[in-house]
A and B are shown apart, each in its own frame.
Chain A
Amino acid sequence: MMGLLLASGVTAVASGAAPKAAGRVPQPVIESARGDKCVEDPAFMRRNHMIVLKHQRDDTMHGGIRGAKHSLKGCISCHASQTTNSVAATSTNFCQSCHSYAAVKIDCFECHSSRPAATTAQHLSPQAKPAQTAAAQQLQEVAMPQQVKP
């Protein structure tokens, strides 16, 4: 049973690490989000997330409107990776994955934190990551088989 779990864990990790081949075209890895549903239709967001983010950016910066539907903090809190707790720490994380695939540089995270606000502190310490063993990570992957979607 354990061996089976580990074996399927390895498969999940392997499929998570490399861009998945769908037909002849390589696809970016998209980690599933923590929430149930995106604030907009995913197809709309894929093409227009930069527009709604920029619109909200000016409302927040100049108008002081915080916590609105299209806030960057909202995106990050839902899309932060279960393993790195970030949207841009590794090449498979939500924002970075597509952006490296499309070769578009993200400037957001040179200033903005790529981690959700509430759990920032616990993931800042460098000791936190090595404590988690490879097997534990694999089991975590097994527990969340929906993490990797085409």
Chain B
Amino acid sequence: MHDTQPSSMPSPAPKSSRRGFLKVAAAGLAGVIIAPGVRLIEIAQAASGGPVASQGASSKVRWGMLIDSGKCASGCTDCVTACNTENGLSGGKLPTDSQWIRKIEIKEVRTGKTQSLPMLCQHCAEPPCVDVCPTGASFKRADGIVLVDKHICIGCRYCVMACPYKARSFVHEPMTNQKADVPRGMGTVEGCTMCVHKIDKGEMPACVSACSDAGHGAILFGDLNDPNSDISKRLASYPSRQIREDLNLNTGVRYSGI
């Protein structure tokens, strides 16, 4: 009766392990002699012959964006369109449809100067959505990306209420034809994932690519923890702000020129 549940996860065949180790060791030595740039992990993955998984999120990096509102063109919605296309969002056909990124116009009342900027999940270091989540579905990944685990989300929408940036949406209608990389379903909360499926492959988020393709280059994406990254250098040398700095959330998305 109890044979349906194995006591542990399957382990690789013990027969091949010694041979596999020797193969890896030999390949490793050859790697040192032939190509010093080859890392052991790559040799091990090549030797195992199985599917190669991505390395996963590391707490050594913290992904962030710097948005230059001076370069962001009023009326341009390329980042919003790219987000909708990448993640399979409808783009607002129904009033209840999800919105992960939106363009906002701000105006200095006295001078009448207007500015345009995209508003999205700010990927806070201290995210209020994570604080209030009763199930642990709203969480922060090791690399600072704030996500919703929809397997655990019960759709209570506390996080929607808690977010100062109105960055989360609730899926009201049944979903069909989702993207293979972006699962979305009725009854769960969702928001900007910083295109986590692309970041894990070493690519840029869709909005960042679209903005640079449009020639604006208003969004700079990179590792906030690396002092030599473009974004860190820019943050170190030019003034930038976090929106609602008073809340001390230490946002991953920073703005300059506002």
- Is B truly associated with A? yes
Residue of B nearest to A40 (CB): B10
* Bound CA–CA A116/B181 (angstroms): 10
Q: What's the interface size class on B, roughly?
A: 35 or more
* Bound CA–CA A66/B182 (angstroms): 13
Contacts of A71 in B (CB 8 A): 51
User: Is the beta-carbon distance between A67 and B53 smaller than 8 angstroms?
Assistant: yes
User: Is the beta-carbon distance between A111 and B53 smaller than 8 angstroms?
Assistant: no
Contacts of A110 in B (CB 8 A): 174-175, 185-186
Q: What's the interface size class on A, roughly?
A: 20 to 34
Residue of B nearest to A67 (CB): B53
User: Is the beta-carbon distance between B56 and A64 smaller than 8 angstroms?
Assistant: yes
What is the distance, in angstroms, from B207's C-beta to the closest C-beta of chain A?
19
User: Is the beta-carbon distance between B4 and A47 smaller than 8 angstroms?
Assistant: yes
User: Is the beta-carbon distance between B54 and A67 smaller than 8 angstroms?
Assistant: yes
Could you show 29 A-B contacts with beta carbons less than 8 Å apart?
Answer: A39-B51, A44-B6, A47-B4, A51-B5, A51-B6, A51-B9, A52-B9, A57-B151, A59-B56, A64-B143, A65-B53, A65-B55, A66-B54, A67-B53, A67-B54, A68-B53, A69-B50, A69-B51, A73-B180, A76-B180, A110-B174, A111-B183, A111-B184, A112-B183, A113-B178, A113-B183, A115-B180, A116-B180, A117-B181
* Additional pairs, 4, CB under 8 Å, beyond known A74-B51, A110-B174: A51-B5, A65-B53, A112-B183, A113-B177
B residues touching A (Cβ–Cβ < 8 Å)? 4-6, 9-10, 50-57, 139, 141-143, 147, 149-151, 174-175, 177-181, 183-186, 188, 196-197, 199-201
| Across the A-B interface, the 10 shortest Cβ-Cβ residue pairs | A111-B185, A117-B180, A64-B57, A68-B53, A111-B183, A65-B56, A63-B56, A112-B183, A64-B56, A66-B54
